[in-house]
């Protein structure tokens, strides 16, 4: 219960949403952890985990009951659903209810925001950059798909955008030869290349401008990999998104040190400032709280019946635009200051609401 309560506290603090409008919900469908089931102090449901049709029926009934009780414009946020359920449930409900998955869409938006801020430094749009992802779960795929949407809006085709994104999972580089074990979402990014599990080898072959970690493998971005990125690029872009800090693909200090301060770095967990060669670097944290309060505020004010994917792209763009020149040039920080999130949320809400209103007028 602590997670939804904490999330709702951020809605209030960062989005200005009234506390009495918020309700935390936990779905308990049991556990297969025998140690927990045998623990007399375990407070969860004492039964084996529910899956399949029974699980789907529970969620269907909840969605119907919540909107019947509170209205069709009730905003429902999904959080911490496992990969096998996250996309399925989002696809199932997003066109029927006002719902979003913060792990997929919020994460995607905040990462794309950081990438767009980085393009202000490199001078080249996202559509001209090749990207390597280490980690192809719900978060990694969500980021990749939103990157594709941004690239298409910049003028290239969907296929050209997908061709620029190279993804790696526990099985290594996602290639066409692995098609039998891949989902349709993964197949969009499958490459006609030799299979390999070596990140360094992929970086050397692909020569990417962007390296993104969503693997939860601590230290996966080794010194060799980071130095290779610096060798390829004048300003390499490296995002180590896994959290907590103990699972980050690389630390901020390593990223700056191994690139001699040229890296444009962001992380999923907070890192202290880094001093190198007489300069202070302030690594940005790609936290979803830059995004979801503003999107939610728009949905509430506009009484939205559903939240389009475009809302998260608009939020990402506004977040990137809100990074000051001083932050970019002096500190290489890719995100706004935390104290500016309340104002950012209002601007995101305005952008999203304006877009929704424009769509209605066109109809």
C-beta separation of 120 from 320 below 8 A: yes
Per the annotation, does 80 bind a ligand?
yes
Alpha-carbon distance of 23 to 4, in angstroms, equals 8
**Pairing state of beta strands 131-134 and 210-213?**
parallel
C-beta separation of 75 from 11 below 8 A: no
Cis peptide before 254 (omega within 30 of 0): no
DSSP H helices, the chain, are 2-15, 34-38, 53-70, 83-93, 107-122, 138-153, 158-163, 184-187, 199-206, 223-232, 252-258, 292-302, 309-321, 325-331, 341-362
C-beta separation of 132 from 205 below 8 A: no
Alpha-carbon distance of 334 to 328, in angstroms, equals 6
> DSSP secondary structure string, 22-78?
------------HHHHH-TT--S--SPPP-THHHHHHHHHHHHHHHHHH-TT-EEEE
Scan for tokens 């529910």, then name that residue.
50
Q: Is 128 helix (H, G, I), strand (E, B) or coil?
A: helix
SS (H, E, C) 223-262: HHHHHHHHHHCCCCEEEECCCCHHHCCCCHHHHHHHCCCC
Per the annotation, does 287 bind a ligand?
yes
Q: Which residues contribute to the annotated binding site for (S)-malate?
A: 243, 287
Q: Which residues contribute to the annotated binding site for a divalent metal cation?
A: 79-80, 103
Q: Which residues contribute to the annotated binding site?
A: 79-80, 103, 243, 287
């Amino acid at each position: 219960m602590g997670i939804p309560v904490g999330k709702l506290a951020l809605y209030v603090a960062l989005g200005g949403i009234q506390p009495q409008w918020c309700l935390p919900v936990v779905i308990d469908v049991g556990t297969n952890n025998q140690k927990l089931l045998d623990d007399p102090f375990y407070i969860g449901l004492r039964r084996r985990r529910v899956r399949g049709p029974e699980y789907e029926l529970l969620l269907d009934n909840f969605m119907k009951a919540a909107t019947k009780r509170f209205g069709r414009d009730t905003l429902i946020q999904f959080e911490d659903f496992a990969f096998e359920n996250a996309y399925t449930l989002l696809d199932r409900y997003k066109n029927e209810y006002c719902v979003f998955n913060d792990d997929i869409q919020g994460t995607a938006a905040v990462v794309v925001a950081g990438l767009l801020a980085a393009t202000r430094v490199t001078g080249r749009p996202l559509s001209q950059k090749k990207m390597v992802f280490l980690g192809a779960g719900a978060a990694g795929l969500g980021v990749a798909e939103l990157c594709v949407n941004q690239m298409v809006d910049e003028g290239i085709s969907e296929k050209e955008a997908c061709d620029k994104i190279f993804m790696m999972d526990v099985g290594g580089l996602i290639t066409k030869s692995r098609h039998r074990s891949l989902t349709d979402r993964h197949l969009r990014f499958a490459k006609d290349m030799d299979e390999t599990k070596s990140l360094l080898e992929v970086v050397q072959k692909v020569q990417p401008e962007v390296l993104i970690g969503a693997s939860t493998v601590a230290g996966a971005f080794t010194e060799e990999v980071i130095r290779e990125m610096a060798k390829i690029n004048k300003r390499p872009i490296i995002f180590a998104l896994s959290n907590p800090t103990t699972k980050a693909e690389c630390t901020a200090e390593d990223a700056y040190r191994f690139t001699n301060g040229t890296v444009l770095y962001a992380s999923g967990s907070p890192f202290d400032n880094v001093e190198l060669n007489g300069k202070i670097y302030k690594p940005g944290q790609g936290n979803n709280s830059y995004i979801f309060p503003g999107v939610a505020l728009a949905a509430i004010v506009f009484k939205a019946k559903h939240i389009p994917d475009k809302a998260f792209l608009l939020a990402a763009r506004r977040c990137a635009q809100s990074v000051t020149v001083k932050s970019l040039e002096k500190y290489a920080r890719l995100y706004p200051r935390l104290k500016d999130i309340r104002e950012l949320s209002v601007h995101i809400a305005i952008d999203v609401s304006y877009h929704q209103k424009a769509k209605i007028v066109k109809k």
